[in-house]
Structure 1
């Protein structure tokens, strides 16, 4: 497994070692000991899967006041995956980074608690997998507008398929600071 600095404080891109032959391939999707040795969480409390059609944009989601860390990857298809640091006091506050995650490249992205996260589906459909450090709670569900001009995310779509929640999410500057997570180095 190769851990790549993703350019945002505490966020990491993971490239697993893949073994293949005429029968197919094998790789570890998560190994508590190896991931802990690499400084990533050793425990997850929830596993989620979403299936989305081409052009669907999910995000930018986060939880408050119990932020979730997420280890994400794609089981089928390809997505443009985005992490945004929304932790007050972080040296990378308000900055975003993106990566192509696909079933072919098998990359994963570690998104620490306190980040907003979203993705848009580039393939005909995508099956997306999340391992989460906190249980999802509807009352903690929060979102940030996907096309916030302050963030200027370079999405590869101009008219994505959106839920009402995502289409009407607040802009970062409209979220009271006390409703954003705090950076703790």
Structure 2
């Protein structure tokens, strides 16, 4: 595996090494010791989730607050997504900035998202299977988010706005200014 540091501290892109022969393809998607070595701290995943989305589904930007904050390891099992992370850590040099990644069943990349980040993704294909491991349990009372089209974030989703499929709940998410005071 090749672990690539991004401009966000502790946010890592993980590229697998592929072993291809006449039988097919093999690659490792997660090695705890390599991830912990790159991070410099221990990580223990306690919950794993999968979502299946139609093309055009935008989920996010979500995060868990306070003691329920979650680090995540995300990957796409089938299809392709535009994955977006927003740094919400007030003491970070990249506070209020965002990064975008293409994760797919072609590149098999994973993304480690540290605590203190909002996260969302846009399914670019039908039947997109998105998987994420979390280091803390989901807590509905600590659930929070930021509206996907917040003018302060200026995220270019590179997709026709009228073709987006967004839940009513996500359409009611507050602005970044409302979340970060």
Same fold at TM > 0.5: yes
Deviation (angstroms), 1:35: 1.8
Task: Mark the CA change 1:69 to 1:7 in structure 2 (over 3 Å): closer, same or farther.
Answer: same
Task: Name the counterpart of 1:45.
Answer: 46
TM-score (norm 1): 0.91
Q: What secondary structure is seen at the aligned counterpart in 1 of 2:100?
A: strand
Give structure 1 regions of 4+ aligned residues with deviation exceeding 6 angstroms: none
Deviation (angstroms), 1:29: 1.4
Deviation (angstroms), 1:22: 2.1
RMSD value, Cα: 1.2
**1:1-185 alignment to 2 at 5 Å?**
1-39=1-39, 41-65=42-66, 66-157=68-159, 158-159=161-162, 160-177=164-181
Deviation (angstroms), 1:142: 0.8
CA contact (8 A) 1:13 1:109 kept: yes
TM-score (norm 2): 0.93
Count, aligned residues: 177
User: What is the rounded CA distance, in whole Å, between the counterparts of 1:34 and 1:26 in structure 2?
Assistant: 18
User: What is the rounded CA distance, in whole Å, between the counterparts of 1:173 and 1:98 in structure 2?
Assistant: 21
CA contact (8 A) 2:75 2:109 kept: yes
CA contact (8 A) 1:45 1:134 kept: yes
Q: Can you give the 5+ residue segments of structure 2 that lack an aligned partner in the other structure?
A: none
